[in-house]
Amino acid sequence: MAYQIDLKTFTDNRGHLTVIEKVIPFDVKRIFYIYGVDGSTRGGHRHHQTIQAAICLKGSCAIYNQDGINERVFELNSPDQCLILEPKDWHQMFDFSEDAILMVLASEYFDLTDYIYEPYIIHDRLRELAASQ
């Protein structure tokens, strides 16, 4: 299941300095960022191998996560918070503020065959059954 980590931040009267060093549980091979989102939902996948670290550098967004057993919505609204997404974590990013910049560090280079777009169907059926009772 996805989890959040605090990034070491130094603050004084000049501002803040946040450091990403020895806290990401993988070697970074790819960095991308998402901004200017028009209200759309992004993501909607999980991976075979890729681990990701998501940091909302500016503004805010939410990330829905499910791993086949658990589900949770993480609110990202501070550049000193980092969400680690394991390969099994099916996720969707949504509710971006107008000024949001979401940076993602990835353990693998882009490879379309690493993506799994289907959410966990068994989990969804169990949730539907529980709701109908």
- For this structure, is 45 an active site residue? yes
**Closest Cα to residue 55, out of 90, 81, 73, 32?**
81
Q: Are 108 and 69 in contact (CB under 8 A)?
A: no
Active-site position among 45, 47, 48, 123 = 45
- CA distance linking residue 36 with residue 26, whole number of Å: 28
**Closest Cα to residue 58, out of 106, 18, 2, 11?**
18
**Closest Cα to residue 33, out of 50, 53, 49?**
53
Catalytic residues: 45
